[in-house]
Structure 1
Amino acid sequence: MTSLPPLAALAFLLPALPIGVWVAWSDMKTMKIPNKAVLALLAGFVGIAVVLMIAGLLPLMGFFWALALGVIVLVLGFLGNLAGLFGAGDAKFAAAMAPFFIGADLRFVLGLFAACILAAFASHRLAGRIPAFRAATEDWESWTHKDFPMGLALAGTLIFYLLAALMPLF
């Protein structure tokens, strides 16, 4: 599942939740993930990680590995973008998300991501068929764009991963 201590997950959720909502909303509305959101998530990770290192909840080496994972995902993301697999904003946001997953069980993360893609796709398509919702969001580009707003699924994956790490508290 997750090797993230619940207190660390709670601390990381503080920046991840509002930024994740911002990214999902922005991607549905404009089909773009703002660079400010990507930088804010990265800054939130670094800031919280420093506090967690001081508190002894994150080892210094773990912090460097987390940043290295972000760089690896960034490189792979740009290669995927060049191949036309997904947008550059998705690649940058995934790279900013990656450090949060350091030490995680890859099977759990990939399963969660798959579930979030399916749920995001189904809920986006369903919401688009509700007349009142569609009327309230008629300016959203995602209703008519050929691509899917993957920021919705990416943000969901990050938020639900951090929430899953809180489960030992309950």
Structure 2
Amino acid sequence: MDHSRATGSLATAMPLVLSFEANWRLRTVMLRGLGLAMMVSASWLWLFPGSVADPELNLVKVGVSVLFFVLGLVLMTTRDLHNQPEACFDPVRRELRVLRRDAQGQPKTVLRRSYDTIGGARLNDAAVQLFENDGSLLIEVPLGSSAARSQLRDQLSGAVQLFS
């Protein structure tokens, strides 16, 4: 049995799930860095000498310090919400499903389109764009790897018009 034929049939039988998340790790690092900077700046307000005798200024400094510390703490402890939608390309049912998790964490279908109702697709290195029959953009989903792009190209070829 040819290895490439076996992988090709596996690629057409397994659903491909792509996430809409685009660089969320970088966003998390940036938010935590901003939170740390705000917490440090809350303490730095007291390191610089100023008018110590002015009680109104000290009251403002206390308020700003507490605000910066609380906002910094919130930014440091925010977690990624895994409520981002996912696109599932199902080769068995020959359809695209967009799923989003509800409040209980259960996936709910928010869009279901058969491959034969999709006007066309354009696959590039970073994303796949799916178009309506009138040429308008239906959805754009980032591709995680060249393997995902290849698997999706295999699934869609023959079912959806592929644009170059």
Asked if Structure 1 and Structure 2 have the same fold, meaning a TM-score greater than 0.5 normalized by the shorter chain, the answer is no
TM-score (norm 1): 0.24
TM-score normalised over the length of structure 2: 0.24
- Indicate the structure (1 or 2) with the bigger Cα radius of gyration: 2
Structure with bigger helix share is 1
Q: Which has the higher strand share?
A: 2
